[in-house]
Amino acid sequence: MTNPLLADWQTPFNIAPFDLVTDADFEPAFDAALADARADINAIADNPEVSSFANTIEALEISGKALDKVLSVFFSVAGADSNPKRQELQRAFSPKLAAYSSEVHGNKALFARIDTLWQARDTLNLSPEQDRLLYLTRRSFVRAGAALTGDQDKRMREIMARLAELGTAFTQNLLADEANWYMELAEGDLEGLPEFVINAARAAGREKGLDGPVITLSRSLIVPFLQFSPRRDLREIAFNAWAARGANGGDTDNRAIAAETLQLRQERAALLGYDSFADFKLETEMAKTPAAVRKLLMDVWGPARARAVADAEILTNMMQQDGINGDLEPWDWRYYAEKRRKAEHDLDEAALKPYLQLDRMIEAAFACATRLFGLEFKPLDVPLYHADCRAWEVTREGKHVAIFIGDYFARASKRSGAWCSAMRGQAKFPEAQGPVVINVCNFAKGDPALLSYDDARTLFHEFGHALHQMLSNVTYESISGTNVARDFVELPSQLYEHWLEVPAVLAEFATHAETGEVMPKDMLDKVLGAATFDMGFQTVEYVASALVDLAFHEGDAPSDPMAKQAEVLADIGMPHAITMRHATPQFAHVFSGDGYSSGYYSYMWSEVMDADAFAAFEEVGDAFDAEKASALEENILSTGGSRDAEELYLAFRGRLPGVDALLKGRGLTA
């Protein structure tokens, strides 16, 4: 029988046939597709014809398509529905893919063909997008070491293979720590917890095969437990387990992996002629230099820390009024911040949550896309990789645009966090293809599923990434959608969060799970009024993580990353009761791959732009202004990486923003 991963997919919209694929299919399909991809590359490199854009750059664009198909399915299920076999395959595939990438970028004949085109680019009569693709292709080869020779070339290949192994191990260790720990709760331990937390804990217990409720390390469960549980002893146990992920000793400890990763990255940068990995990494981003990143982060750190210190004093007084002496601890902050929010804003998250039903928030995200961009969403009944997944066909004026898949619920087989990926990107070459886009989240299951306000923001955030993929309108897949500078890629996602805060959106879609009543206006006012509540805490935990990431990569690689982390936090005056959002042993953004290495700052860099971009709608007094929405799509959402990010933003807004809009949006101005 033909392997379903390698067959022509006779499915609606050419979606992967998940119902036909088994774990036994992945390895033979991978090996066959990898061999085909190698043959494609060799055919391009060894082509006796004179190098041309068509027989070299466009040929590269369509090479390895079978491998792309196999990996799009495999990595989708490996990240969102892992099992021991899939983890084993990840460990096996990772070094093979790294070796293949090194072979491609180290192919001297292939690089010579690309470089020949680059030197003659002014005579090739290329379109602006083709010229951009040639530039990006050559740059990627140079930065991967294509110009290296001899021992340096060999060493670069060894480094890249080892980094791939380390990234996979880091991810799997973190998943194991998150999946294996849980804290059983007796009935008396549930006192003070709102019903939605109790229901989520019972559901988590059932998933573990237990009769009673449990707290797991899923963010959607542990954070509300830390917010609402009056049991300080249990909060401390839960928080310490959460903070210790990846640092528990034994086979799943990530500290040595982090140290080796940083050493190899520094060696990689040195081989390519850079002073540091941060210099290498940031060269292609909007920020350009470590100094520019540090300035942004420190411009925000001062106001954020001042707010957090003032807040800590208030929370400490609240704790002492409860008869608890001593310092405010990290497992205390969320509990007393929630009590303070309820007191100052009369906003009770337990009362708010029934108005934030998952299904209604999905409808809200879709409705905003309809009003802004004319998109329509129709449920699609197709086999997917998990029963929790659902799919929609996205159309505009009756024409197919994309397939959107949502996988929203937490489970032990899913890595933590939330993300957006494209199983297939938009393209017009060699023929038109619409994207297949997935949003993956980790919300607590319920009947109905209820979200926190932060959860609802996450849903809008990831859907903003999805829109960037769905509205892409370029020729070549490799520069479509979210294939942009790392510190630009978060702009569409963070910008879309603003539409959740539009009063008319909440007034329409925030309806009570039991009564169906619209959220009362006074509650809506409180929600919006409390939007910047506890922003000192949120900003400090984020900026601290970004500064540690930068420090890891800015100079010589530290032999002891934990000691370096402690040094950075001491130097900036990290408040005692706040921890990094992602401590080193669980900092998957930085150590599961190098996507966000030296780049965790990019969320804030993008936020500077998103605050300014939404102001463009506010200035005309209409969050759904058709002219602004059209300009946003034309200049940012549809363009992918076909033009420089700074050029795109200038085309939309007419100028680059400063940090003031961000500080104002976070409520951190005096």
Please say which residue of 600, 631, 653 terminates a domain: 600
- Active centre residues (catalytic): 462
The confidence score (pLDDT) of residue 508 equals 96
**Which tokens belong to 375?**
């998109």
* Distance from chain centroid for Cα 315: 31
- Alpha-helix runs per DSSP H in 128-287: 128-143, 150-180, 195-207, 219-228, 232-243, 255-271, 277-282
Residue 616's H or E segment, with its range, is helix 602-619
The confidence score (pLDDT) of residue 661 equals 85
Average pLDDT on 538-555 reads 97
Give the domain CATH number at 281: 1.10.1370.10
Same domain, yes or no: 388 and 321: no
231 domain residue, yes or no? yes
Residue range 140-153, pLDDT digits in tens: 999 999 999 999 99
Where in the sequence is the domain holding 458, given as residue range(s)? 354-529+603-665
Q: Is 246 left (phi over 0), alpha (psi -120 to 50) or beta?
A: left
- Specify the pairing of strand 375-380 against strand 214-216: unpaired
The confidence score (pLDDT) of residue 397 equals 98
4 domain residue, yes or no? no
Neighbours of 203 (CB within 10 A): 20
Tell me the C-alpha distance between 204 and 210, whole Å.
Answer: 9
Tell me the C-alpha distance between 211 and 218, whole Å.
Answer: 19
Same domain, yes or no: 206 and 143: no
Of the pLDDT bands very low, low, confident and very high (cuts 50, 70, 90), residue 180 is: very high
Distances in Å between the Cα of 362 and the Cα atoms of 3, 261, 531, 605 are: 35, 39, 20, 27
Burial class (CB in 10 A: 0-12, 13-18, 19+), 329: middle
Residue 289, CA atoms < 13 Å, CB-side half-sphere: 3
Starting at the edge strand that comes first in sequence, how are the strands of the sheet with 390-396 ordered? 375-380, 390-396, 399-409, 436-443, 419-424
Residue range 623-648, pLDDT digits in tens: 999 999 999 999 999 999 999 999 99
- 266 contact partners, CB below 8 Å, separation of at least 6: 276, 277, 553, 556, 557
Residue range 311-343, pLDDT digits in tens: 999 999 999 999 999 999 999 999 999 999 999
261 domain residue, yes or no? yes
1 domain residue, yes or no? no
Of the pLDDT bands very low, low, confident and very high (cuts 50, 70, 90), residue 361 is: very high
**Which tokens belong to 635?**
């200049």
Q: Are 102 and 164 in contact (CB under 8 A)?
A: no
Same domain, yes or no: 87 and 125: yes
Same domain, yes or no: 481 and 594: no
Same domain, yes or no: 401 and 515: yes
The confidence score (pLDDT) of residue 223 equals 95
Q: Are 418 and 442 in contact (CB under 8 A)?
A: yes
Residue (of 588, 607, 590) closest to 598 by Cα position: 590
Residue range 388-417, pLDDT digits in tens: 999 999 999 999 999 999 999 999 899 888
452 domain residue, yes or no? yes
Same domain, yes or no: 187 and 144: no
Classified as helix, coil or strand, 609 is: helix
302 domain residue, yes or no? yes
Classified as helix, coil or strand, 579 is: coil
- What average pLDDT is seen over the chain? 96
Considering the chain, what percentage of its residues have pLDDT values greater than 70? 100
* Distance from chain centroid for Cα 622: 29
Tokens 């990240």 locate to: 79
Give the domain CATH number at 146: 1.10.1370.40
Q: How many domains does the chain divide into? A: 4
282 domain residue, yes or no? yes
Tell me the C-alpha distance between 316 and 311, whole Å.
Answer: 9
Q: Are 546 and 600 in contact (CB under 8 A)?
A: yes
Average pLDDT on 235-260 reads 97
Residue 117's H or E segment, with its range, is helix 108-119
Of the pLDDT bands very low, low, confident and very high (cuts 50, 70, 90), residue 349 is: confident
pLDDT score of 461 more than 80: yes
pLDDT score of 1 more than 80: no
Residue range 189-246, pLDDT digits in tens: 999 999 999 999 999 999 999 999 999 999 889 999 999 999 999 999 999 999 999 9
Same domain, yes or no: 100 and 212: no
The confidence score (pLDDT) of residue 669 equals 87
Same domain, yes or no: 236 and 279: no
Residue range 573-609, pLDDT digits in tens: 999 999 999 999 999 999 999 989 999 999 999 999 9
Classified as helix, coil or strand, 516 is: coil
**Which tokens belong to 509?**
């879609």
pLDDT score of 356 more than 70: yes
- 465 contact partners, CB below 8 Å, separation of at least 6: 420, 439, 482, 489, 492, 493
Of the pLDDT bands very low, low, confident and very high (cuts 50, 70, 90), residue 670 is: low
6 domain residue, yes or no? no
Residue range 48-76, pLDDT digits in tens: 999 999 999 999 999 999 999 999 999 99
Same domain, yes or no: 229 and 377: no
Tell me the C-alpha distance between 468 and 642, whole Å.
Answer: 13
Same domain, yes or no: 382 and 262: no
Average pLDDT on 653-657 reads 93
Same domain, yes or no: 195 and 304: no
Residue range 25-49, pLDDT digits in tens: 999 999 999 999 999 999 999 999 9
- 183 contact partners, CB below 8 Å, separation of at least 6: 214, 215, 234, 237, 238, 241
Same domain, yes or no: 32 and 145: yes
Of the pLDDT bands very low, low, confident and very high (cuts 50, 70, 90), residue 127 is: very high
Please say which residue of 583, 600, 617 terminates a domain: 600
Distances in Å between the Cα of 338 and the Cα atoms of 225, 318, 334, 432, 442 are: 11, 11, 6, 50, 22
Tell me the C-alpha distance between 72 and 423, whole Å.
Answer: 5
Residue range 98-121, pLDDT digits in tens: 999 999 999 999 999 999 999 999
- Alpha-helix runs per DSSP H in 481-576: 486-500, 503-509, 521-529, 535-554, 561-572
Residue (of 197, 310, 345, 293) closest to 578 by Cα position: 310
Neighbours of 87 (CB within 10 A): 16
Residue 421's H or E segment, with its range, is strand 419-424
Average pLDDT on 181-186 reads 97
Please say which residue of 600, 622, 645 terminates a domain: 600
The confidence score (pLDDT) of residue 658 equals 87
Tell me the C-alpha distance between 352 and 38, whole Å.
Answer: 55
